[in-house]
Amino acid sequence: MRLASLSEEKENSANSTDLKGDCRCSTQAHKYRLSSGYRRVDSTSSASDDREMGIESQAEVHKLIIVVLFLACAGISNWAALAYIHDFVGRQPLPDIVFSIIPEQSWALEIGDIVVTVCSVAMIAIMVLHKYRGVVTRRILFIIGILYCMRTISLLCTQLPSGYSHNDRKCRAPLPHFDLAVFVQRILEQTIKVGFQDPNEKMLCGDLLFSGHTLIMVISGLTVPYYLPRRLRLLGWIPKLLSWIGMICMIISRTHYTIDVVFAYWCTTGVFMLYHAYCEIDSYPERRQSLLKSLWLMKVVGWLEANVVPGRFENELSFPLLNRVERICFKARRESRSPSDAEIASTNNSATTVVIEPA
């Protein structure tokens, strides 16, 4: 009898353990479900649930600061390279297949700058309004920083002369020898203008391989569609179309050679796809076994993505200022409806008052 009771107790404990496991699995399945191949966050999950499963509700500030500093250094290195190579880059334009067909269109440069500005604003809007804005911002800024580092190396390795019809009219006169004061002044000038140059004034020449304008336009054309919610996916075509218009303007204005634009498109698309292909691997063991892990870049990406759930999360837009205003209004409305402390005290006193009449 004792043996039979012991076996029954073991079976009951095993069944209860299985039930607990099933409950845990169903809870996890409720919070995270796979839809159309993407790992999605349930809209009912809270911020604590997101942190528990690894999705960041807030940006890891130290990582974001490091990425911003990295991007700043990459940008300054670009402008420093341009300030250095300007004095010895050639002035005779190279042959280009588009240049031989279409004459120089100076007006197209202004349109290209406008397209770059619009694409940049659209990309910044996505980074600010996305529900996981910390993760998205860190990813995009890191990708841009890597591309600018690649661009600095290419500028220093091979210098291409500007493609304008009259480079002597467009380019500033080169200095006969290196001047540190002029060098620093050029860097500060480019930093203040964020890399833009006035086409109506003489410019620093040699800023060619590969195109920085195309870099920004293409990264915007990739970022906006990737992080837009599905119901707004048609809006993702706007930066794509604008980026193609901008690339055409860069070539026909002879701001860049055709090869500059082509290389910029290839490099930007490649780095963006590599980063997000690594992020979309659905488990950490698969990431460790992936061929992408052998790239040194993916080691840095692995550190940046350490607290983010593997896979592609659901894209949702969130308006921080509007949400804060709604919380303030809700709090004020709740306080106005709730009785004050004085009313509560008077109610308690009236309820506990006992009148004693003389006999």
Q: Is residue 344 part of a domain?
A: no
Rounded to whole angstroms, how far apart are CA atoms 246 and 117? 10
Q: Are 129 and 53 in contact (CB under 8 A)?
A: no
Amino acid at 171: C
Say how far apart CA 207 and CA 185 lie, in whole Å: 17
**Which residues constitute the domain of residue 113?**
59-305
Asked if 213 and 78 touch (Cβ cutoff 8 Å), the reply is: no
| Cβ 309 vs Cβ 39: under 8 Å | yes
Q: Tell me the pLDDT tens digit for each residue of 240-273.
A: 999 999 999 999 999 999 999 999 999 999 999 9
In a domain, 25, yes or no: no
Whether 222 is in a domain gets the answer yes
Nearest to 197 by CA among 170, 220, 223, 221: 170
Domain count across the chain? 1
Q: Residue 346 falls within a domain, yes or no?
A: no
Q: Does the residue 357 lie in any domain?
A: no
Q: Model's pTM, two decimal places?
A: 0.75
Catalytic residue among 213, 276, 282, 341: 213
Residue 241 falls inside a structural domain: yes
Which element (helix H / strand E) includes 46? none
Helix or strand or coil: residue 35? strand
In whole numbers, what is the pLDDT of the chain averaged over residues?
Answer: 80
Cβ atoms of 96 and 257 within 8 Å: the answer is: yes
Q: Do 237 and 290 form a contact (C-beta atoms < 8 A)?
A: no
- The answer to whether position 91 is within a domain reads yes
3-24 pLDDT, tens digit per residue, is: 445 455 545 554 555 544 444 4
Q: Catalytic: 177?
A: no
Q: How many CB atoms lie within 10 A of CB 17?
A: 10
Low-confidence ranges of the chain (pLDDT < 50): 1-4, 6, 10, 14, 19-54, 56-57, 351-357, 359
Which long-range CB contacts under 8 A does 153-159 form with residues at least 24 apart? Answer: 154/209, 154/210, 154/263, 155/78, 155/81, 155/82, 155/85, 155/206, 155/207, 155/208, 155/209, 156/81, 156/84, 156/85, 158/209, 159/85, 159/88, 159/89, 159/90, 159/206
Residue 16 inside a domain? The answer is no
Containing H/E element for 62?
Answer: helix 61-85
**Distance (Å) of CA 152 to CA 30, 81, 198, 210:** 48, 6, 21, 9
Q: Which helix (H) or strand (E) holds 6?
A: helix 2-31
Span 180-224, pLDDT tens digits:
999 999 999 998 888 777 777 888 898 898 899 999 999 999 999
- Active-site pick, 30, 260, 276, 282: 260
For residue 296, the SS3 value is: helix
Whether 256 is catalytic is yes
Catalytic residue among 18, 256, 276, 282: 256
Q: Which residues of 148-157 are buried (b: 16+ CB within 10 A; e: fewer)?
A: bbbbbebbee
Instruction: Report the pLDDT value the prediction gives residue 25, as an integer from 0 to 100.
Output: 42
